[in-house]
């Protein structure tokens, strides 16, 4: 099958030389059982290449499964891939087959393979070299005949130098490397892709397809597209749905592009602030923002408790009636404005609280609370784990983060469970 036939069959648009070369390699290697490593940035369409290789291979009638290695918690990844025996760990109420067992005779696509823990990497290396694996909690060696296609948006060779990825596994996976070009490296394909997406969305939403004037097309081609084809498709959908004029000008199109600085000429686009990055940075920033929100709510609750305590300091006994919650708690209010109300019987008998100026406080009276976000984040994680008696999944749900992120934070902060 030639390159044009592959593009037509799998809906691939573009004629960039780098794209054509990647498709040619995928077509040539499909008839073999060689391990393939697909490299490229997030959003370039690496999974499509795994489908091409499997669909053109002799295994095309056998199972194909795509596994996102970065989405499976470190504690369960071995069980997911290789299976486990009953009672091998807490929660293993029954024996379970892993992917390498259920997909026997077919193809397994390991996306984000650079996220695999080192222990799992050693198990994977054994499968690639001998076709053997062992279930978690078992001593019995089993055989499997699975073709492995891996993908990564990281430079695994750099990861090997940092000790985060096994060098022997890297060379075993990259028997045949395929590098999918970033969208900014195939600028001639960008207008074609936008036109295709705009037409698809016009049909989907039953409206007229949008078109770009010369200035808008220039912006389209010169924008760096850090999210690659995925980002281009999202922008095309936004323009198709939200644009009031079907002939989109440069100014109108610029309003849909994320705000970015142009490092080449020092200029910047005055555009709406939208997420500019892809991959783990976006996930981590969202996670830590959620933790900060929870932290602020905790601080607000603590301030409310302090406010209530100040009103209960009259003579060492609580007040018969609590003052209005929104009453200003300041030394002036307590000593002047509120004195008449308390002594007049509005809130009962009260001896006004005298708050000494900071300059008159003794050194031991000063309480300095740590404002470190790291410490507060650690404190919240410890509280949540204690509340849920060490159950990570429940703690992660309450904190609004993934179980994998919680595990990483526990390791990072050296939290004892």
> Dmax over Cα atoms in the chain, in whole Å?
95
pLDDT, one tens digit per residue, over 36-68 is 999 999 999 999 999 999 999 999 999 999 999
pLDDT tens sequence across 274-311: 333 334 434 444 455 566 656 666 676 666 667 666 65
Which region among 196-200, 238-242, 366-370, 379-383 has the lowest average model confidence (pLDDT)? 366-370
User: What are the backbone dihedrals phi and psi of residue 324, each rounded to the nearest 5 degrees, phi first?
Assistant: -55, 140
What distance in Å separates the CA atoms of residue 251 and residue 239, rounded to the nearest whole number? Answer: 12
- Measure the CA–CA gap between 50 and 149, rounded to whole angstroms: 7
Q: Which residues contact 310 (CB under 8 A, 6 or more apart)?
A: 329, 334, 353
pLDDT reading at 334 higher than 70: no
Task: Report d(CA 81, CA 135) in Å as an integer.
Answer: 9
- How far is 407 from 387, CA to CA, in rounded Å? 16
What is the pLDDT, as a whole number, of residue 380? 86
Three-state DSSP class for 151?
strand
Instruction: Please answer whether residues 16 and 189 qualify as being in contact, where contact means their C-beta atoms are separated by less than 8 angstroms.
Output: yes
What's the confidence (pLDDT) of residue 265? Answer: 41
**Mean pLDDT of the 80-88 span:** 91
Q: Is the pLDDT of residue 317 over 60?
A: no
Structure pTM?
A: 0.62
Neighbours of 195 (CB within 10 A): 16
Cα distance between residue 27 and residue 10, in whole Å: 12
Domains contained in the chain, CATH given: 3-181 (3.40.50.300), 184-254 (1.10.8.60), 281-311+370-417 (1.10.10), 312-366 (no CATH)
């Amino acid at each position: 099958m030639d390159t044009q036939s592959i593009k037509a069959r799998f809906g691939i648009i573009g004629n960039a030389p780098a794209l054509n070369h990647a498709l040619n390699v995928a077509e040539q290697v499909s008839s073999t059982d060689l391990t393939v490593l697909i490299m490229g940035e997030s959003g370039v369409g690496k999974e499509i290449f795994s489908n091409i290789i499997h669909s053109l291979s002799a295994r095309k009638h056998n199972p194909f499964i795509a596994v996102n290695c970065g989405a499976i918690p470190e504690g369960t990844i071995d069980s997911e891939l290789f299976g486990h025996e009953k009672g091998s760990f807490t929660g293993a109420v029954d024996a379970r087959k892993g992917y390498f067992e259920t997909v026997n005779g077919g193809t397994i696509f390991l996306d984000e393979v650079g996220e695999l823990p080192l222990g799992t990497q050693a198990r994977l290396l054994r499968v690639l070299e001998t076709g053997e694996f062992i279930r978690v909690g078992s001593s019995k060696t089993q055989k499997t005949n699975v073709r492995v296609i891996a993908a990564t948006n990281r430079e695994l060779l750099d990861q090997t130098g940092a000790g985060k990825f096994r060098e022997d596994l890297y060379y075993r996976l990259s028997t045949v490397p395929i590098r999918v070009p970033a969208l900014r490296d195939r600028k001639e394909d960008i207008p074609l892709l936008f036109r295709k997406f705009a037409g698809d969305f016009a049909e989907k939403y039953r409206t007229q397809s949008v078109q770009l004037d010369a200035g808008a097309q220039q912006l389209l081609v010169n924008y760096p597209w850090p999210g690659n084809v995925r980002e281009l498709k999202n922008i095309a959908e936004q323009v198709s749905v939200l644009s009031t004029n079907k002939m989109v000008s440069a100014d109108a199109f610029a309003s849909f592009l994320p705000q970015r600085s142009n490092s080449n000429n020092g200029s910047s686009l005055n555009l709406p602030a939208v997420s500019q990055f892809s991959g783990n940075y976006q996930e981590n920033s969202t996670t830590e923002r959620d933790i900060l929100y929870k932290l602020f709510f905790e601080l607000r609750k603590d301030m409310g408790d302090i406010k209530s305590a100040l009103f209960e300091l009259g003579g060492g006994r609580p007040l018969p009636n609590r003052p209005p919650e929104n009453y200003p708690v300041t030394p002036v209010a307590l000593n002047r404005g509120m004195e008449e109300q308390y002594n007049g019987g509005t809130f009962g008998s009260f001896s006004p609280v005298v708050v000494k100026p900071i300059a008159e406080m003794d050194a031991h009276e000063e309480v300095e609370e740590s404002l470190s976000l790291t410490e507060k984040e650690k404190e919240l994680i410890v509280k949540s784990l204690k509340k849920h008696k060490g159950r990570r999944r429940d703690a992660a749900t309450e904190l609004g983060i993934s179980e994998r992120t919680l595990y990483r934070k526990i390791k990072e902060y050296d939290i004892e469970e």
